Structures are given as structure tokens and as C-alpha cells.
A and B are shown apart, each in its own frame.
Chain A
Amino acid sequence: DVKVTQSSRYLVKRTGEKVFLECVQDMDHENMFWYRQDPGLGLRLIYFSYDVKMKEKGDIPEGYSVSREKKERFSLILESASTNQTSMYLCASSLLEERDYNEQFFGPGTRLTVL
């Protein structure tokens, strides 16, 4: 079974703090994604990566950065957390396959509260 794990289920931080959200997958997937989930807005893509050290902006990258130093690990960084970044953050991974769609597998999510 594909397993995507996230470092924390719940996290509480203060405004201005630097926050690291970690995601690890164990199926040797090339693609990894970070989404945020908000009520009434669904999931929105923050950043994705299709290879080690490669990253591309998604639809809402402002206020976030990412790091992918190893294939299995994809980190989301909030350089200076703000209250409007309070949300559920979901990580996902998938195989790289240009000719056909490959299912995205999701982690359990991290519910981040910024006070």
C-alpha cells in the first residue's frame, strides 16, 4: 500500500513564527504536491514538485515555500506565519507518467492554527 505520512496532525503556532510541515511517501513517487483545504473552497494547490530539487508554483504560492532535497520528502515552509494561513494542509504524491493519469495518494493532513 502507498503510504503518505505528514509530521503532525495538529499544530498551533504564533503569528510571525517559521513553520515547517513535512511529508514523506514510501512508494518512490516522482510527483509530490501540497494543497490547503478550506471550507467552501475545496483544495487549492500551493506548490508541486516533479523531481528532487525541482518545484513549481501552484495556484496560491504566496507566503509559502517548499523544499525537496530527497525524493521521498517534500516540505512546506511558512516563512512568517499569519492568521490567514490557518487551514488544513494536505500532501499528496503520484507517479510521473506523461501519457496517462496517475492517481494522487494523500496524507492524513495537518490542521494548522496560527494565533
Chain B
Amino acid sequence: AQTVTQSQPEMSVQEAETVTLSCTYDTSENNYYLFWYKQPPSRQMILVIRQEAYKQQNATENRFSVNFQKAAKSFSLKISDSQLGDTAMYFCAFSREEGSGQGAQKLVFGQGTRLTINP
């Protein structure tokens, strides 16, 4: 069974600093997807960034980038020039796909990291 582990329950940095959230996962599959989702306080969860396992190049979305180490099964999120609006719960997630071909693409989530950006 796939598992996702986020070892940092809480983190806090000053505005404009760079912060890195860690995530490790365990799977025997070779093809899969990895994600970072953001859940702001009292707001809906949204996708921040995703990485296809077959791509060696790390994904980047504006101030958000990942460090994907497939052999080490590590998938960290770096937030550059952090902003107050980045305060949120961040979840790392792994996508598995059932062999039935229905393509439901279920997600397995980590425990979450509560990130606070201080002014």
C-alpha cells in the first residue's frame, strides 16, 4: 500500500523568506503523480503543483517549485518570497490508479503541514 509522510506538523517563517516543506512516500509503482495541495483557513483546498514521476525535470509554478528525488522517494515543496496569503495547511498527495481502467485516480494524502507566514 502506498503511504505519504509529512514529518513537519507545523512551520513558521517571516514574510519574504523561502521555506521548504518535506514529503516522503512509499510505493512500488514506477508511474505515478505527486501533488501539493493548499488549504487556506476556512477556504477550499486547491492544487498548488503536480509532478509526473516519469519527468525528471522538477515542476515549477511561479513562486512554488518542487524537488523531486525519485530514487529517494522524496518530494519537497519550496515557496520562494513567501507571502501572508501562503498561510495554510499544505498536503502532499500521491495518485494511484486502479487496474480496473476506470481511471478514478484516487489520492493518498500525507498528514499535512501547517504553514504560518508572519508579517
* A binding-site residues for B, Cβ under 8 Å: 4, 31, 33, 35, 40-45, 48, 50, 56, 58, 90, 94, 96-99, 101-104, 106-109
Contact = CB atoms under 8 A, between A and B. Distances in A.
B106 A40 contact: no
A50 B104 contact: yes
Contacts of A41: 111
Given A101-B50, A108-B44, A42 B104 contact: no
Nearest to B33: A101
Contacts of A96: 102-104
20 contacts: A31-B103, A31-B104, A40-B111, A41-B111, A42-B111, A43-B107, A45-B107, A48-B106, A50-B103, A97-B103, A98-B101, A98-B102, A101-B52, A102-B105, A103-B47, A103-B50, A104-B47, A104-B105, A106-B44, A107-B44
For the complex of A and B, the 6 pairs showing the least CB-CB separation, nearest first, are A98-B103, A42-B109, A106-B45, A43-B109, A101-B33, A42-B111
Given A42-B91, A101-B95, A108-B43, A31 B105 contact: yes
Contact of A101 (B9, B44, B45, B105): B105
Interface string B42-72: 0111110010100000000000000000000
Contacts of B111: 40-42
Contacts of B105: 31, 94, 97, 101-102, 104
Contacts of A108: 43-44
A107 B102 CA distance: 23
Interface string B90-115: 01010101000111111111111000
Given A40-B9, A98-B101, A101-B50, A90 B45 contact: yes
A101 B101 CA distance: 13
Given A48-B104, A102-B105, 18 more contacts: A31-B105, A42-B4, A43-B109, A45-B107, A45-B108, A50-B102, A50-B103, A50-B104, A96-B102, A97-B105, A99-B103, A101-B95, A103-B50, A104-B47, A104-B105, A104-B107, A108-B44, A109-B44
